[in-house]
Chain A
Amino acid sequence: MLEIEGLHKSFGGLDAVKNVDFSVRQGEIVGLIGPNGAGKTTVMNLISGAMKADKGAIRFLGREISGLPSNKVCRMGICRTYQIPKPFYAMTALASVTVSVINGGDRPNMSLFDAAFEASYYLEFVGLFAKRDILAKDLNLYELRMLELARALATTPRLLLLDESMAGLNPGEASLALDMIWSAQEQFGITILWIEHVMKVIMAAAQRIVVLQHGQKLMEGTPSDVINDPRVIEAYLGGRHVVD
């Protein structure tokens, strides 16, 4: 579904992403992990069209999307959430999701009422229907994360990019959020590329994991391969923690 080849992005003299290759198959949950500054969010920005790659190819469903603006990428079926939630603070939860319903998919003649009605479905799905008329600035972190998920789902994505969805959540909320993401994948048949620092969650959720370090791909494999790989342990914890 998504193929990335030789992806490269630098900021001035700093190579944030260097020659990264990996692919995501339909229906998969792929984890993208790595220490802070490894280039995970940059990869996500490049895929979603927020940034343009210096070199390399990003193919989605066989079409080259590298360099396309994010609104076109979204309409092709890729949507993302943010590490730090970026809601439309002065808009209600319903209005925020309605924006995605109207603009995200191919719904040229949908009226505001129909769009709001469909948006209410996504809010109900993430458990925010009762808060549909609350301004986003008045929602707590868990609710903001759920609002972001609803907003992303409302664009009818085929590939959902999750950027540290569990950051700042307590264990109970994280468990609820994980269930929500699983059921979203099952109900909407979406593929997920997921950046996550909470290892317990990503190891349980992902079928495959890609590890980045210093902008380069360190390894790729199943969660059990990754967690036992000395290179990954060294990258996260330092060389003295590797058991020979």
Chain B
Amino acid sequence: MVKFEFKRDRVVFRWKDLKYEYIIEPRYWRNPAIGIALLAALPIVVWNYPAMLTMFTTANLLAAITIPLGLQLVGTARVNFGPQLYLGIGGYTAALLNLHLGWHPFATLLATILVCGSISLILSPITWIAKGLYFSLITLILPLAFLDLTFIYGDLFRGEVGLIGMSPLFDLGRVTWNYVSYYYLSLMLMLFYLLIADKIGQSRYGVTLASINEDEDVAKMMGVNVNRNKVFYYVFPSILIGVVGWFIVHTFRTFAGVTYLPLEYMLKVLIIILIGGRAYSYGAIWGAYFVTILEDVLRMAGPINYVLFPVFLILAIVLLPRGEGLFGLYHKRHHRDYFPQLKVRRN
């Protein structure tokens, strides 16, 4: 029997010996709600500009890659330089199964989860044995090795051209409606990831995660099963990133390793983390929109954008608070919103 309990600032659900608490105080959800409303209203403004809708869809997908990556960085206490490996694995799994075996997108989704989960589980012991630079180098090499494979087995992966013509998630008949629907789907995917990351961050698992990030030896001494946590926070975000690959396959209907597996794509994702703010899930959205919009705006400047884009990014990294990025500017004023506050009443 589920029992509800309404308190001043939260709702408590009890079922058997389990207890779930949700904060209902407006200050905890007001600003995220405003942000979501703005993102949801965005297509109304740019309805007639498919290029802008695609740009915002790309921003949502980049944020959807960055949010789990942030979780992975904190949970494994290591910098992963190859998150795009699972984007590639997820994308190619979905594309190949759909093209060659005619699997429905939902079947390819399950296959993507299974394949990304299995491969990341096999590779997860590297979070135990490799530290610091060694871990970063291993994760840096893996997607590049996979990129080489897509060329070596060109008859299967179609090398530079990539795979084309996968079935769409759905077709609304009109191009504009399709663009809008894909924007909303990508927004939902991103918000779903944000919800997961936020729930983990605000739960008992969140403080455990933070302790591993701080000092894994001391965390172990405090009873934290560091190895198990590391495997989970390597495998779970890898699956989430793989699902983004599946989404790209069934929305853009083309997938090429040369687009997603090279260093440039990884650098963009890592820069989003730096600009948005390390270890802030919300910061990933700020960073993704900032980088995507900047890239598209500078493209209008012609070939000089290849110089201007990195210069602007370097300036942003240097000028924003170190390690706290765009979200850090907001977070500095609201840091107490993000951890349960104990009210002390003394008579």
Instruction: Give me the interface of A with B, judged by CB distance under 8 Å.
Output: 48-50, 69-71, 74-75, 79-80, 82, 86, 88-92, 94-96, 98-100, 102-105, 109-117, 120, 129, 132-133, 151, 155
| Contact between chains at A102 and B18 (CB < 8 Å) | no
B207 adjacent to A110 (CB under 8 Å): no
Q: Taking CB as reference atom, which chain A residue is nearest B228?
A: A71
Q: Is B223 an interface residue (CB 8 A)?
A: yes
| Assembly CA distance A48 to B217 (angstroms) | 11
Known: A50-B217, A92-B339, A99-B211. A115 touches B223 (CB 8 A): no
CB distance from A127 to the nearest CB of B (A): 15
Q: Which of A102, A105, A120, A132 contacts B204 (CB 8 A)?
A: A102
Cβ of B182 to closest chain A Cβ, rounded Å: 36
A sample of 14 inter-chain contacts (CB < 8 A) reads A70-B221, A71-B223, A79-B222, A92-B339, A99-B219, A100-B223, A104-B223, A109-B18, A112-B203, A112-B204, A112-B340, A129-B344, A133-B341, A155-B222
Q: Is the CB of B222 within 8 A of A103?
A: yes
For residue A73, give the distance in angstroms from its CB to the closest CB of chain B: 8
Given the interface pairs A71-B225, A99-B222, A155-B222, the reply to whether A110 lies near B204 with Cβ below 8 Å is yes
**Residues of A with C-beta under 8 A to B155:** none
- The verdict on B226 contacting chain A, using a C-beta distance below 8 Å, is yes
Please, how many angstroms separate the alpha-carbon atoms of A100 and B219 in the complex?
8
B8 on interface, CB distance cutoff 8 Å: no
Q: What are the residues of chain A within 8 A of B336 when measuring CB–CB?
A: 133
Answer whether A99 and B224 are a contact pair too, CB < 8 Å, given A86-B218, A110-B204, A116-B340.
yes
Which residues of the partner chain A approach B202 to less than 8 Å between Cβ atoms?
A: 112
The residue among B207, B218, B341 with the most chain A CB atoms within 10 A of its own CB is B207
Evaluate contact between B208 and A113: CB separation under 8 angstroms: no
Interface of A, secondary structure class, is helix
Q: How far is the CA of A69 from the CA of B224 in the complex (A)?
A: 10
Q: Specify which chain A residues have a CB less than 8 angstroms from the CB of B341 in the assembled complex.
A: 133
Q: Are A151's CB and B19's CB within 8 A?
A: no
Which applies to chain B's interface (DSSP): helix, strand, loop or mixed?
mixed
Q: What chain A residues lie within 8 Å of B204 (beta carbons)?
A: 98, 102, 110-112, 115
User: By the criterion CB–CB under 8 Å, are B340 and A113 in contact?
Assistant: yes
Closest to A82 in B: B218
**How many angstroms from the CA of A166 to the CA of B206 in the assembled complex?**
32
Does residue B97 face the partner (Cβ distance < 8 Å to A)? no
B163 to chain A, nearest CB (A): 44
- The reply to whether B221 and A48 contact each other, CB–CB distance below 8 Å, is yes
Instruction: State in angstroms the CA–CA spacing of A109 and B20 once bound together.
Output: 9
Scan residues 320-347 of chain B and give those whose CB is less than 8 A from a CB of chain A. Answer: 336, 339-342, 344
Give the residues in chain B near A102, CB-CB below 8 Å.
Answer: 204, 207-208
Q: Are A109's CB and B223's CB within 8 A? A: no
Expressed in whole angstroms, the Cα–Cα distance for A99 and B227 within the complex equals 16
Q: Which residues of B contact A95 (CB under 8 A)?
A: 207, 210, 339
Minimum CB–CB distance for B74 against chain A, Å:
11
